[in-house]
Amino acid sequence: MASRVRALGGADREEALAFLAGSPEENLFLASKIATLGIDRRRLGSVYAYDRAGRISSLLLDGGTVFVAGFDADALPAFVGQLGPIRRCSSILGPAISVLGLHLGLSQRWDAWGRVSNVRARQPLMLLDREPAVPADPRVRCLTPDDYPTYLDASVHMYTDEIGSSPFKYGSGYERFVMQRLIDGDAYGIVDDDGRVIFKADLGPRLGDQAQLQGVWVAPELRGRGLSTPALSGMLTLAMRRFPRISLYVNDFNTPAIRAYERLGFVEVGALATVHF
């Protein structure tokens, strides 16, 4: 049977999830979306499979984020052709080798894909599946909608520091996104005596017993004082009551963060890459 790209529909949900379950930490972003939204173009975007000998060897999400799952060298040029010359996404995410190969093919073929904000070529993917190895800061709590103004400020600072651009460049949706995290109980932090969030960390994608740690931030004037690791331990201790497996990915040049995660007990299980436009 010849290799081919095919568009997936609602009836392919379980087949896609079974493929993604082969690398659960690596594919958490896409698996969580398919599990929640199904394969619905209006809610998720278009999902394509590269079939080899009748079995999926790679998946592509063409949505607000382009996500590529698995690695098949023959799938990448096929996905380049499928995505085409008009870029609609704000980022490309997935296993490092697949993301970098896909972006190279896209940028060589079409100019719109070559104009990037930054490329994070290797982001170690790490997993914690046991109690944090560092004593927890007891001040950490689940944030609520009452904390919205200061949590929004912290989130904007974190995004700008990390991405190098404003989260509002695509409109006002970021404010709704931030409020939804508070409503869902996915934002954790330390609020000082003046009512200001001085540390925050969030839960992002989740599926089954696993969730992804995102958005770690410490107020600039408090960095380098030993706050972040105990604070993260406090956040993880609370979050792991809901999700006993917490994964994350971090820029490979952020050595202090990687060392802190290692002290907490995280172990490297792979590598992702992100291209931001």
Give the residue from 70, 97, 115 where a domain finishes: 115
Same domain, 103 and 201: no
In a domain, 135, yes or no: no
What's the CATH number where 41 sits? 3.40.630
The pLDDT of residue 166 is 76
Q: What's the pTM?
A: 0.91
DSSP H helices in 38-172: 75-83, 96-109, 148-163
**C-alpha R_g of the chain:** 19
With respect to residue 25, please indicate whether it lies within any of the assigned structural domains: yes
Q: Do 213 and 252 belong to one domain? A: yes
Q: What is the pLDDT of residues 41-99, one digit of tens each?
A: 999 999 999 999 889 999 999 999 999 999 999 999 999 999 999 999 999 999 999 99
Same domain, 108 and 207: no
90 with 195, same domain: the answer is: no
pLDDT score recorded for residue 53: 87
Q: Are 170 and 87 found together in one domain?
A: no
Do residues 180 and 72 both lie within one domain?
Answer: no
Is residue 134 a contact partner of residue 229, using CB atoms and an 8 Å limit?
A: yes
Number of CB atoms found within 10 A of residue 234's CB: 24
Burial of 130-141, coded b for 16+ CB within 10 Å and e otherwise, reads: eebebebbeebe
User: Which residue range is the domain that position 245 belongs to?
Assistant: 141-268
Residues 160 and 79 in one domain: no
- One domain, residues 149 and 263: yes
Three-class SS of residue 110? coil
DSSP 20-41: HTTSTTTTHHHHHHHHHH-S-T
Task: Assess if residue 35 is contained within a domain.
Answer: yes
CA separation for the pair 188, 139 (Å, rounded): 10
Quickly count: other Cβ atoms within 10 Å of residue 184's Cβ. Answer: 10
| 256 within some domain | yes
Q: Tell me the CATH number at 239.
A: 3.40.630.30
**What pLDDT was estimated at residue 1?**
62
- Per the structure, the count of domains in the chain is 2
pLDDT at 171: 66
Residues 257, 170 share a domain: yes
Distance CA 99, CA 178 (A): 27
pLDDT along the chain (277 residues), means of 10: 89 97 97 96 95 94 97 96 95 97 97 94 98 97 97 92 74 87 97 97 97 96 94 98 98 94 98 96
